[in-house]
């Protein structure tokens, strides 16, 4: 079986020609594709997604650290979260036409709304992981600088970083002089339809929990519940 498309157009958008073409193809292989084509020669993209998520956070953290030398850690964390959330990443994926290259099942291809955005966001992270392995950190920096950091002005203008997590963090840092932390309490559902339950902690004490189809959304739900509990108290 061969890749049913020419990825040269995608490579141009990424700003790099892959030395190992299989890495890019693996990054474009959604788990559901293997259900329809179990003899496909490559694994699905979730390992690369894991790596890409970490590399993306590093590069964005580094860039924010450089651009905002006077901002405290908490504000940088909030800005980073706004730049790497699944909606922003899905927009990046659409901008470079990634949806035309992802290998997935016919059923998954029909998904719309949030489910589609999550698939696109995960694929972007996998592509970043592949780009890092194949081309190194400088290539990732160029891509992230052009495609992800380009959203920074809009994030600052619309204050889209002001979600429940950032609101909770600002209040708790001001009132209690500590930073809320989050941890996974439970994961359930099949791999392509995960449900996460995240807990929010103050100094190691569980304050509230929340659920969502991604860790980030579950964290936001937990933050909302913590805000409600804190305001009631």
Q: How far apart are CA 101 and CA 29, in angstroms?
A: 9
Set 49, 108, 125, 163: catalytic member: 125
Question: Has 53 been annotated as catalytic?
Answer: yes
For the question of residue 125 being annotated catalytic, the response is: yes
Cβ–Cβ under 8 Å, residues 49 and 125: yes
Residue 58 · residue 65 · CB < 8 Å: no
Annotated catalytic residue, options 26, 53, 163, 217: 53
185's tokens: 């309490």
Tokens of 27: 């990054």
| Catalytic residue set | 53, 125
């Amino acid at each position: 079986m061969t890749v049913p498309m020419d990825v040269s157009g995608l490579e141009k958008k990424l700003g790099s020609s892959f030395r190992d073409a299989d890495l890019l193809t693996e990054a474009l292989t959604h788990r559901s594709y293997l259900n329809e084509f179990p003899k496909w020669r490559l694994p699905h993209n979730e390992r690369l997604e894991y790596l890409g998520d970490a590399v993306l956070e590093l590069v964005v953290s580094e860039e924010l650290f450089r651009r905002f030398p006077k901002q405290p850690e908490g504000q940088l964390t909030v800005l980073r979260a706004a730049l790497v959330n699944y909606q922003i990443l899905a927009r990046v994926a659409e901008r470079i036409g990634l949806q035309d290259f992802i290998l997935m099942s016919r059923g998954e291809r029909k998904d719309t709304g949030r489910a589609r955005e999550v698939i696109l966001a995960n694929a972007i992270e996998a592509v970043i992981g592949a780009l890092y392995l194949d081309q190194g950190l400088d290539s990732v920096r160029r891509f992230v600088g052009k495609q992800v950091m380009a959203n920074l002005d809009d994030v600052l203008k619309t204050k889209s970083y002001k979600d429940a997590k950032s609101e909770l963090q600002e209040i708790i840092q001001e009132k209690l002089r500590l930073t809320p932390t989050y941890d996974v309490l439970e994961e359930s559902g099949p791999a392509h339809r995960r449900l996460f339950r995240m807990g929010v902690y103050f100094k190691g004490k569980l304050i509230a929990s929340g659920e969502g189809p991604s860790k980030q959304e579950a964290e936001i739900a937990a933050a909302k519940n913590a805000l409600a509990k804190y305001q009631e108290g």
